Amino acid sequence: MHHGNRHGRSEQARQAVLQAVDGLLVERGFAGVTMEGIAARAGVAKQTVYRWWPSKVDVLMDAFIDDMEQHLTPPDHGDLGRDLRAHLADLAEFLTTSDSGAVFRALAGQAQHDPAVAARLRTDYLGQQRARDELPLRRATERGELPADIDLEFAVDQLVGPVYYRVLVTGGSVSRGFTDELVARFLAQH
Amino acid sequence: MHHGNRHGRSEQARQAVLQAVDGLLVERGFAGVTMEGIAARAGVAKQTVYRWWPSKVDVLMDAFIDDMEQHLTPPDHGDLGRDLRAHLADLAEFLTTSDSGAVFRALAGQAQHDPAVAARLRTDYLGQQRARDELPLRRATERGELPADIDLEFAVDQLVGPVYYRVLVTGGSVSRGFTDELVARFLAQH
Amino acid sequence: MHHGNRHGRSEQARQAVLQAVDGLLVERGFAGVTMEGIAARAGVAKQTVYRWWPSKVDVLMDAFIDDMEQHLTPPDHGDLGRDLRAHLADLAEFLTTSDSGAVFRALAGQAQHDPAVAARLRTDYLGQQRARDELPLRRATERGELPADIDLEFAVDQLVGPVYYRVLVTGGSVSRGFTDELVARFLAQH
Amino acid sequence: MHHGNRHGRSEQARQAVLQAVDGLLVERGFAGVTMEGIAARAGVAKQTVYRWWPSKVDVLMDAFIDDMEQHLTPPDHGDLGRDLRAHLADLAEFLTTSDSGAVFRALAGQAQHDPAVAARLRTDYLGQQRARDELPLRRATERGELPADIDLEFAVDQLVGPVYYRVLVTGGSVSRGFTDELVARFLAQH
DNA sequence: TGATAAACGAGACGGTACGTCGAGTCTTCGT
DNA sequence: ACGAAGACTCGACGTACCGTCTCGTTTATCA
Q: Which residues of C touch D154 (CB under 8 A)?
A: 178, 181
Minimal C-alpha gap between D167 and chain C (Å) = 9
Find the nucleotide nearest D3 (Cα to C1′). Answer: F8
How far apart CA D102 and CA D117 sit, in angstroms, is: 16
**Coil, helix or strand at residue A125:** helix
Closest protein residue to F22 using CA and C1' atoms?
Answer: B5
Q: Inspect the structure and tell me whether chains A and C have 3 or more CB pairs less than 8 Å apart.
A: no
How far apart CA B167 and CA B161 sit, in angstroms, is: 10
Q: Which domains does chain A have, with CATH numbers?
A: 11-55 (1.10.10.60), 71-188 (1.10.357.10)
Region for C143 from its dihedrals, namely left if φ exceeds 0, alpha if ψ lies in -120 to 50, beta otherwise: alpha
Closest protein residue to E15 using CA and C1' atoms?
Answer: B45
Give residue-wise pLDDT tens across range A31-58.
899 999 999 999 999 999 999 999 999 9
Q: Which residues of D105-131 are buried (b: 16+ CB within 10 A; e: fewer)?
A: bbbbbbbbbbeebbebbbebbbeebbe
Q: Which residues of C99-117 are buried (b: 16+ CB within 10 A; e: fewer)?
A: ebbbbbbbbbbbbbbbeeb
Q: CB contacts < 8 Å between C and D, how many? A: 111
CA atoms within a 13 Å half-sphere pointing along the CA-CB vector of A165: 26
**Cross-chain residue pair A164–B168, CB shorter than 8 Å:** yes
* Distance, Å, C49 CA → F29 C1': 24
* Distance, Å, A62 CA → E20 C1': 31
Give residue-wise pLDDT tens across range B92-121.
999 999 999 999 999 999 999 999 999 999
In chain C, the residue whose alpha carbon lies closest to the alpha carbon of D105 is C112
User: How much is the pLDDT for A7?
Assistant: 45
- Local confidence band at B9 (pLDDT 50, 70, 90 cut-offs): confident
Give residue-wise pLDDT tens across range B143-163.
999 999 999 999 999 999 999
- Give me the percent of chain C exceeding a pLDDT of 90: 86
Give residue-wise pLDDT tens across range A53-100.
999 999 999 999 988 876 667 778 999 999 999 999 999 999 999 989
With beta carbons less than 8 A apart as the criterion, state whether B120 and B114 touch: no
**Cross-chain residue pair C109–D112, CB shorter than 8 Å:** yes
**Cross-chain residue pair A112–B105, CB shorter than 8 Å:** yes
**Cross-chain residue pair D162–C163, CB shorter than 8 Å:** no
Q: Inspect the structure and tell me whether chains D and B have 3 or more CB pairs less than 8 Å apart.
A: no
How far apart CA A91 and CA A68 sit, in angstroms, is: 12
In chain C, the residue whose alpha carbon lies closest to the alpha carbon of D28 is C113
- Which of C112, C157, C172 comes nearest D162 by C-beta? C157
Q: Which residues of D touch C124 (CB under 8 A)?
A: none
29-48 of B, contacting A, C-beta below 8 A: 29-31
pLDDT at C2 over 90: no
Minimal C-alpha gap between B84 and chain A (Å) = 16
Side chain identity at B63, as an amino acid letter?
A
Q: Which residues of D touch C112 (CB under 8 A)?
A: 30, 105-106, 108-110, 112, 168
Where does D69-147 have alpha helices with state H?
Answer: 80-96, 99-111, 115-121, 127-143
User: How much is the pLDDT for A154?
Assistant: 97
How far apart CA D38 and CA D49 sit, in angstroms, is: 8
- Which of C29, C172, C185 comes nearest D158 by C-beta? C185
- SS3 sequence, chain C? CCCCCCCCCCHHHHHHHHHHHHHHHHHHCHHHCCHHHHHHHHCCCHHHHHHHCCCHHHHHHHHHHHHHCCCCCCCCCCCHHHHHHHHHHHHHHHHHHCHHHHHHHHHHHHHCCCHHHHHHHHHHHHHHHHHHHHHHHHHHHHHCCCCCCCCHHHHHHHHHHHHHHHHHHHCCCCCHHHHHHHHHHHHHCC
User: How much is the pLDDT for A160?
Assistant: 98
Mean pLDDT in consecutive groups of 10 residues from the start of chain D, 190 residues = 58 95 96 97 97 97 88 82 96 94 96 94 94 95 95 98 98 97 94
Burial of A39 (C-beta count, 10 Å sphere; 0-12/13-18/19+) = buried
Minimal C-alpha gap between B183 and chain A (Å) = 11
**B62-71, B95-104, B158-167, C8-17: range with lowest mean pLDDT:** B62-71
How far apart CA D31 and CA C31 sit, in angstroms, is: 13
User: Over chain C, what is the mean pLDDT?
Assistant: 93
121-160 of C, contacting D, C-beta below 8 A: 122, 126, 130, 154, 157-158, 160
- Give me the percent of chain C exceeding a pLDDT of 70: 95
Q: Which residues of D touch C122 (CB under 8 A)?
A: 170-171
Q: Which residues of A touch B126 (CB under 8 A)?
A: 169-170
How far apart CA C75 and CA C69 sit, in angstroms, is: 16
* Distance, Å, C11 CA → F30 C1': 22
User: How much is the pLDDT for A5?
Assistant: 47
